[in-house]
Amino acid sequence: MRSAILLAGAFVLFGFGAHQATLPAPLAKDYDKLSSAPSLTVEFKMSSPGTPRLDYQLMLGKPNMFKLTYDDGFIQSDGQNIYTYKKADNTYTQVPVSDESLADVAGRPEMFGWAPYFVKDAANLVAGAKVVGPKPVSGNDTTEVSVVMKKAPVTATMYLDKMLDVPRGYDLKTGSNEYLVIASKIEVGKEKMADSMFAFSAPAGSKMVEVSAAGDATYANVQKIMTANCMPCHNAQNRRSNVDLSNYAGIAANTTPGDGKNSILVKVLTAPGAARMPAGGRPPLSKSDIAMITKWIDDGAKK
């Protein structure tokens, strides 16, 4: 039976017999503490080059329950379903809890440091690690540990709180992307949180988004998705990575009409781990949105 290893880009599916790197004591204690904790709550900030620093609140409970809240909305699991809410258009999606849906959550850069809470045998996924030395982080004593994951090119510098034996923060690098995460508040619970803490309640006036119908694959709807999820990083003024997705010409330049799956636009939206767009800790696009974009391109990417 496969172990449920779920962090995309860094955490992948491994069998129980996979080779395990010898972890330095601080990292081994960190993994043990996270995996055995009945609950965990964290308040932190995440930043990446060229993007504003964002605030997050994270609650983790067993089994497979969590809630991650951020400026643009939230994503949470009640143990049965995962709900992703987007404040911009007051909509949410609902998908059953599964290895695949949990992998989408665990693959987010803001989840990397705390993923061993629900990733079994996480130590099997580390290629190597070494202690760098003590390092003060936001007034807390931490041990700096460099980590190389088996899934290249993912590396991290972990800042492990000496009092709590869990990450105070980390600097995550995957390819050309880099994320700095620093927690201002961490609480390792001694008891399991009540299931009601993770119960989903649809925000007032919100609507659940269903899988898009074939007739919805139009440029107008694709542009709406780009505007809601890719701005202001890829507008006409910023053009991050020299990409402008604020108009038809800019979007079309990143497509291969008739071949949605192999178009640059779809590839970056479905890339593993932190390489996936949107960047800056924003939630990934829903499967229905990606399906719509892919079909629009398959149909010729017409205006």
CA dist 175 and 273 (Å) reads 10
Tokens at 287, concatenated? 């499967």
- Looking only at the bridges linking them, the beta strands covering 177-189 and 167-174 are antiparallel
CA distances from 66 to 47, 48, 116, 267 (A): 22, 24, 13, 28
pLDDT of residue 20: 58
Query: For the chain, what are the domain ranges?
Result: 25-192, 210-298
CB contact at 8 A, 166 and 33: yes
CA dist 34 and 46 (Å) reads 20
List phi, psi (to 5°) of 141: -80, 120
Show pLDDT as tens, one digit a residue, over the chain (303 residues).
222 223 344 544 333 334 556 899 999 999 999 999 999 999 999 998 877 889 999 999 999 999 999 998 999 999 999 999 988 889 998 888 887 777 778 778 899 999 889 887 788 889 999 999 999 999 999 999 999 988 767 899 999 999 999 999 999 998 777 899 999 999 999 999 999 999 999 999 999 986 444 446 888 888 888 888 888 889 888 888 888 898 999 999 999 988 888 999 999 998 887 778 887 767 788 777 888 899 899 888 988
Rounded (to 5) percent helix, strand, coil in the chain: 25, 30, 40
pLDDT of residue 4: 28
Tokens at 226, concatenated? 């780009």
Q: Identify the CATH assignment for 25-192 out of 2.50.20.10, 3.30.750.24, 1.10.3210.10, 2.60.40.10.
A: 2.50.20.10
CA dist 265 and 215 (Å) reads 20
- Taking the whole predicted model, whether its pTM rises above 0.85 is answered as no
Tokens at 227, concatenated? 């505007």
